[in-house]
Amino acid sequence: EAQVTQNPRYLITVTGKKLTVTCSQNMNHEYMSWYRQDPGLGLRQIYYSMNVEVTDKGDVPEGYKVSRKEKRNFPLILESPSPNQTSLYFCASSTEARAQGTGELFFGEGSRLTVL
């Protein structure tokens, strides 16, 4: 089954404790992206990757890191989480058509992060 898998789905942590949210897709998609969803703001893009070893900042990259060493994986790293990073996070992938802006995004089920 074609899917995007995120882990963990739920996490409560404390300020400053490094954490990683993993994302894996099995559709051989080149494009992957991370978003955060906050009430009343829709989804905002954190980072995206057009291909292996190619990453770029989205609209809200501060406090986050990513890496794309393999095509299927795109982990999101919070080096020193803070309470304002409490949010619902989504990973998504898409075909090369994303480069033309026409590709459908396939989303994971989300990771709810709480930073105390």
In whole angstroms, how close is the CB of 104 to another protein at the nearest point? Answer: 5
Residue span binding another protein (CB under 8 A) among the ranges 19-27, 31-39, 62-70, 72-80: 31-39
Residue nearer to another protein on the CB measure, 53 or 56: 56
Task: Indicate the length of the chain as a whole number.
Answer: 116
Chosen residue from 50, 63, 72, 114 binding another protein by CB under 8 A? 50
In whole angstroms, how close is the CB of 75 to another protein at the nearest point? Answer: 17
- Distance, CA of 105 to CA of 100 (rounded, Å): 13
- Distance, CA of 49 to CA of 94 (rounded, Å): 10
* Cis? peptide before 8, omega within 30° of 0: yes
CB neighbours (10 Å) of residue 33?
A: 25
Residues in contact with another protein by CB under 8 A are 4, 31, 33, 35, 40-45, 48, 50, 56, 90, 92, 98-102, 104-105, 107-110
